[in-house]
Amino acid sequence: MKNRLLTQVIVSGIVLIIIAMLAAPVIGAPLTGVQGSRVQVNFMSQDPDPADAGNDLDLRWQVVNTVTGSVDYLNFRLDAGYPFLFEAGDSQFKELGASAGTYEDNIFYILHYKLRVADNAVKGTYNVTLNWNYGSGWVKKEFPIYIDPKRADFVVGALSTSPEKLIADTDDAKLSVGIDNIGKGNAENVKVKLLMPEGFRASYSYSDEDSLGIIEKGASKQAVFYVDIDDKTRAGEYEASLEISYKDENDAASQYRTKKIGLKIPVKPAPYLVIESVTPNPGIIVPGNVVTAIVKVKNTGNEKAESVSLRVFKDAAQPFDFIEKSDFVGKLESGDSGEAAIKFTVEKDAVPKKYLVDVELRGIDNKENVVIFRSTIQVDVQESSGVFPFKTVGILGVLAVLVAAGSTYYRKNRMNK
């Protein structure tokens, strides 16, 4: 009986020892945070939660000295990289000075930091690192901070053009671009400027800008621009940019913000017709001439042109009467040349000088679209070199005959005397 009682006492004692060993770490552990040898730090809150881009953010920690006694000094350093900025008035370093130990979790200090969240911060979780030192080395711990901007944010929607197919040497091409606000706030006073690559320019003043007013969150508006495409622009995708300036409704400072978004402008393959040379017959043009000019046309584009033709536009102020002012060239493959002939009469009282005559080149591309190119040819009217010398020779001949007759008459009179 005694042996059984002794055995029960021993077993009970062993069980109590095991329970005590398992419970000891739980009783002595802090509630949250990191425990150094004497100080523990627990994260309390972030305000606002989630943080908002461009606004201030308050961070608070609970600081507890868990051992009876005191700490001569207690220093803190907050390491916070992008998108957090120390621009809200706080320093990275803080010092609480001497700290009395409490050994009680319900007696603590409040550590407070105020940061600014970068304007261009994007949604996500970012870590800040709090370091503290109470005289026996630095202890550190990372804490997650969540950012979900409530600001407006933009992406480019669909691009539509008129004409539907953009080619070189196009004037007043209309570009309509969707501006989508995918942010969590409304955008006010939205203005969009098209920054164009080489080969593009605004058709007229401010045609590269558009004002869209308010774009609510989740909404979209069309920005419209009018551009000219240079005649030397080749097929391909060209990198442009949209510069969007706006005010965010959630910005207490009501400051204008700017965002740039890339935009690709496609220029399609097309024929491109140019005047390669002009050969007049006669070679020297003078007033009164009937002139036949052979105009050589070349397709310098990257697509063939069908039914190429040339047409002259007569200017009433110019001294030409066109007998044949248009001609058919035919099909020109890329790099091919062809000829057109025009015929005109130069007025007899034409002023000798160089005249620029407007011409139009037409063709049809692979999609049956009519392509039109405008150019000029030069007509050089010179002073008549054959008429006036002939008259001069005639006058000199008459004078020579008169002089000879007078000389003969004079000699005969002297002999008679």
pLDDT digits (tens, 9 = 90+) for 288-316: 999 999 999 999 888 899 999 999 998 98
pLDDT at 280 over 70: yes
Mean pLDDT, residues 183-202: 94
Mean pLDDT, residues 135-139: 81
Mean pLDDT, residues 74-84: 91
Mean pLDDT of the chain: 82
Contact in structure between 343 and 322 (CB atoms under 8 Å): yes
Contact in structure between 246 and 256 (CB atoms under 8 Å): yes
The pLDDT > 70 percentage for the chain reads: 79
- CA angle, 192 as apex, 187 and 195 as ends, to 5°? 145
- How crowded is the C-beta side of 227, counted as CA atoms within 13 Å? 26
- Count of CB atoms within 10 A of residue 134's CB? 20
Helical residues (DSSP H) of 156-279, grouped into ranges: none
pLDDT at 102 over 80: no
Q: Tell me the CA distances in angstroms from 96 to 30, 74, 79, 379, one per residue in order.
A: 21, 5, 18, 92
- In the chain the domains, ranked by start, together with CATH numbers, are 34-147 (2.60.40.10), 154-267 (2.60.40.10), 273-381 (2.60.40.10)
Contact in structure between 154 and 182 (CB atoms under 8 Å): yes
